[in-house]
């Protein structure tokens, strides 16, 4: 194989999309790497989204080698059938539904040192001669207008935005370390600047006013210089129905006592869901709500209820300190941004036991592992007592994921919902967590939903690919079996 073929082959093999022999067979039939990748996409051996990502990584590495790589998109270029040499070999691994997806990821594993994607749009709000703050505000405005979820600034690179999980560079010249530093430091007050200089890291929420909105922000120093990551926050809090949440989730906000956990991986919308639940309580209940966040993202004006929002590091030393104080501040509802450690978890469960409604988040993928995570935080000698407390105080668990559509242009919500009842409570108390999945399947009439069933429903509706459903499943074999069945038509 020539150099270009070797570069593409390394990406395909490294991401377990094809074997070495399969790559050799493909290049025998189609020597041009771009056209070979396009054929693989058209034949269904690689999804279009992953094909585009592999193509961009291939071109980036070719540019680094000083070679010329065409800008042809795989899906558009595919005009012929798949080379027969590939079909004579073992099936492509990553796109075969029968394969165990635990070994796979929805994203390619090999990432170039300098990611370059085809820009999704120009940056009309950015002037090359702008000052640091003007340039930063121009980038923020561009990201907001593009509907991006994140904006990344890294020394030596052009600014990068994430739109529907895909990272793309803006049409802005690469920014050196001094330019990035000028942009970042222009947003800080004296206290924030001192903290960043001392700790080399900084978490805060930047408020750009009505025009720019709010951004959850992290500054850091890395090997190339300073960098910043900005998560865009909506200016308005969407109601639960607009998020696609069922009535069961609304019901969780009506309880007077207990604990409700909203869980999921990063960037799955946990904060937005929690904010929508708090807003619903604020609009419908004349009660005192205290939120403890790091940092404050959505701002809640007092409506029917009365709300105090506290930010860790600004208004209180830690989640634990704020929770202990909250118990003496006459709250009806306590929202905890994240249960990170033993102290916070213990205080949150205790607050639910002592007559408060507690809403909190965890970075866990499903309801069963959420319960396991809460219990595992405690020492073994205390777990029996915590099991008893959790079995009575838990009201429900909402686990969510945002799954990209087939074309990567949309995100679809997949949900798992556990509603605590006497059967679920007994299983938690008696260490029978392995039976929870069956109880949730039997509890559909109560509003319980398995994540796997939600993924199957999205795949049957052709909103997401079957491969995405399998990759994200808690029980891949169950999902593969359900996907093989013909979906029932709505009556």
Domain count, the chain: 3
The crossing angle, in degrees rounded to 10, of helices 177-185 and 132-146 is 80
**Whole-model pTM?**
0.71
Say if residue 162 is in the same domain as residue 276: no
Backbone dihedral angles phi then psi of residue 158, each to the nearest 5 degrees: -70, 155
Average pLDDT estimate for 31-51:
81
- How far, in Å, CA of 80 to CA of 161, rounded? 34
**Which domain, by its residues, includes 362?**
240-449
Q: Do 217 and 228 contact (CB within 8 A), yes or no?
A: yes
Please report whether residue 119 resides in a domain.
no
The answer as to whether 455 is a domain residue is: no
Q: Within this chain, do residues 321 and 444 fall inside the same structural domain, yes or no? A: yes
pLDDT at 54: 79
Distance CA 275, CA 236 (A): 10
Work out the burial of residue 295: count CB atoms within 10 Å of its CB; fewer than 13 is exposed, 13-18 middle, 19 or more buried: middle
- Whether residues 153 and 219 share a domain: the answer is yes
Identify the CATH number of the domain in which residue 275 sits: 3.40.50.300
**Which pair of structure tokens corresponds to residue 305?**
């209820």
The dihedral sign for the CA sequence 358, 362, 366, 370: negative
Q: What is the pLDDT of residues 348-402, one digit of tens each?
A: 999 999 999 999 999 999 999 999 999 999 999 999 999 999 999 999 999 999 9
| Residue 257 shares a structural domain with residue 214 | no
pLDDT digits (tens, 9 = 90+) for 232-280: 999 899 999 999 999 999 999 999 999 999 999 988 999 999 999 999 9
Looking at residue 485, its pLDDT comes to 73
More confident residue, 386 or 166: 386
pLDDT digits (tens, 9 = 90+) for 290-323: 999 999 999 999 999 999 999 998 899 999 999 9
Residues 192 and 50 in one domain: no
Structure tokens at 169: 């560079």
Q: Which two tokens stand for residue 468?
A: 């995405």
Whether 469 is in a domain gets the answer: no
Do 79 and 202 share a domain, yes or no?
Answer: no
Give yes or no: residues 250 and 223 share one domain: no
Average pLDDT over residues 429-458: 95
Where are any strands of DSSP class E within 312-407? 333-336, 357-362, 394-404
Residue corresponding to tokens 């999945």: 437
């Amino acid at each position: 194989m020539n150099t270009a073929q070797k570069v593409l082959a390394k990406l395909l093999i490294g991401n377990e999309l094809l074997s070495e022999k399969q790559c050799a067979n493909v290049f025998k039939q189609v020597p041009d790497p771009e056209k070979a990748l396009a054929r693989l996409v058209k034949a269904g051996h690689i999804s279009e989204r992953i094909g585009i990502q592999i193509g961009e990584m291939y071109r980036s590495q070719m540019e680094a080698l000083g070679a010329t790589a065409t800008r042809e998109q795989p899906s558009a270029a595919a005009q012929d059938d798949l080379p027969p040499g590939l079909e004579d070999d073992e099936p492509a691994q990553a796109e075969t539904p029968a394969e165990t997806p635990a070994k796979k990821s929805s994203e390619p594993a090999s990432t170039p040192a300098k990611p370059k994607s085809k820009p999704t749009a120009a940056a009309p709000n950015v002037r090359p001669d702008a000052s640091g703050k003007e340039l930063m505000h121009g980038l923020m405005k561009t990201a907001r207008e593009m509907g991006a979820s994140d904006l990344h600034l890294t020394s030596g690179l052009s600014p990068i935005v994430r739109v529907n999980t895909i990272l793309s560079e803006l049409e802005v010249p690469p920014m050196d370390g001094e330019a990035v530093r000028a942009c970042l430091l222009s947003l800080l007050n004296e206290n924030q600047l001192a903290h960043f200089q001392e700790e080399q890291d900084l978490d805060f929420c930047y408020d750009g006013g009505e025009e720019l909105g709010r951004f959850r922000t992290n500054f850091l120093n890395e090997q190339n210089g300073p960098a910043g990551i900005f998560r865009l926050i909506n200016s308005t809090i969407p109601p639960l129905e607009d998020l696609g949440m069922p009535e069961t989730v609304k019901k969780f906000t009506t309880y007077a006592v207990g604990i409700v956990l909203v869980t999921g991986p990063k960037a799955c919308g946990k904060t937005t869901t929690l904010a929508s639940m708090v807003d619903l309580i604020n609009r419908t209940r004349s009660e005192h709500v205290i939120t403890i966040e790091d940092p404050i993202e959505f701002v809640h004006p007092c409506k029917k209820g009365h709300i105090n929002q506290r930010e860790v590091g600004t208004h209180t030393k830690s989640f634990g300190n704020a929770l202990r104080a909250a118990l003496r501040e006459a709250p009806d509802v306590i929202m905890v941004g994240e249960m990170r450690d033993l102290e916070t978890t213990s205080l949150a469960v205790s607050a639910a036991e002592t007559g408060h409604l507690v809403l909190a988040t965890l970075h866990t993928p499903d309801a069963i592992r959420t319960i396991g995570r809460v219990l595992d935080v405690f020492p073994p000698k205390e777990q029996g007592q915590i099991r008893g407390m959790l079995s009575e105080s838990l009201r429900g668990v909402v686990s969510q994921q945002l799954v990209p559509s087939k074309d990567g242009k949309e995100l679809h919500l997949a949900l798992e919902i556990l509603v605590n009842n006497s059967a679920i409570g007994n299983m938690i108390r008696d260490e029978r967590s392995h039976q929870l999945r069956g109880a949730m399947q039997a509890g559909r009439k109560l509003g319980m939903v398995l994540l796997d069933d939600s993924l199957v429903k999205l795949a049957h509706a052709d909103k997401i690919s079957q491969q995405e459903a399998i990759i994200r499943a808690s029980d891949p074999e169950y999902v593969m079996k359900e996907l093989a069945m013909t979906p029932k038509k709505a009556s």
